[in-house]
Structure 1
């Protein structure tokens, strides 16, 4: 079996989230720095696996960071696995796509994961133990709510995490210190309403589907398409309507079945780059797109291993890599 190459990863990124783009972005406008958020608690005082983690401790600076929580002008979100339901189009169209029937996931080491990570600014990744530090920014067309965050105008989710420990830097120099805050890109979309743009991704996907399969009368064109294609069309329409009627309950993703949640620490393979965004000064990081909940006793499964492999593109890779990383770094995540 072939290994999943970076070229394949680039193709996958184009498929994610109805065409959600990457996070390499800077911009320059007036001062839009949000008010200070003081609710972040201190990091745990834990020893590091490398010399870098014993460097300057910035934990005391957490309260000075630009963390927001539902303040006017910003759209924020906090993932809670007990409150939200993860879904995607494959569940409704019954066209599960088990990518890893053809490709093996890469070995979870810093060098190989670097090759699979898109938009890395530095020449390396570092393995960090991070705790979720606040609400996520929901960025649509470059804006978080009504506030310009970045150019070009991308649509992304970024979650702030505080570094608890530098777990592995491949014997190199890690630019981060304990207590630093990064904003980690996550590959999903929410369906909670904030403004008129909130569900644009559903509307655009539906318009594309209708343009492909409907005739001039606005009906499915059975003269050109088969019953199998009709079943696909009906499933997609049901999916879009479900997202609209869900009152914000659904999270849409085709990639990673694991999301960052408050109160939990994760292993994150982050870009070793501290370049701040020019608009409001946060560090938006191009991390490896799978995060690992090594605090758990086994890799999480949402539905079943068979269904997860079909519904979430990275599910098999997550479980495969989790088992190796649990053995390698599990000591850092004991409660």
Structure 2
């Protein structure tokens, strides 16, 4: 049965088949489905259906008995894997649920037609929204994060980020760091600065140096603040996002995620760097670093008589001097 996203969330059929052109929306809806109830959760690729079969075969002695299995890349299934996936779907019983993601699956594929024809299946096609629809989604995400954007900032961001929900969420996270506990409207200048419209190219290199706990990061902070006039709040927002990604990456790795980088919201150049950076930190150190960032952000916004450059240099030194080895 074809369903809209909200219908699927409400009905929660035993088999959910998500496909369409909007890859980010497919995985976003899949994660929302997982959050609708308490159950054992397993995320697998189509090449790892053995794990899915084992998870659905029996309930544990303790904890939730229901199991939600998410298959992430059904569009890449070989004919043999497709047959196993169909067999698995037909075997789902009781309180168990199978969520099949197939972004950009061709409607001509036999597997697509067979999945749509299954009994007890809810099918949802996630089409790429137009720019106006993407702007509405972006505004809704900002509202849920506790702030609003000026009209010009929203229009410009929607144009730049169109179709890139993952990048948009990273930007919203930077805005959340900038805003802190305050609510209200963020002005256009700050919003576009955090979008990356006016940040010095050295900012990403500084974040990487801090994440690698290199002593040279202190000099880079001095160059950014004193020579280039980089915004201290902007620097905190970018670094805060990186520290959070490192913590989430370590957590998903510990949970044996098939793609810890994606689950942690890591995209672009950071995908190559974060695994190495994470080796330089313990989880407790990252939690302490995030708390330190919040403290310095408060001081940058007027709770200290020290200038921004001094605060940023001292913060950088505090974070890197605990390097191991």
Structure showing greater relative contact order (alpha-carbon pairs closer than 8 Å, 6 or more residues apart): 1
Question: Which structure carries more helix by proportion?
Answer: 2
**TM-score, with structure 2 as normaliser:** 0.21
Question: Which structure carries more strand by proportion?
Answer: 1
The structure with more radius of gyration: 2
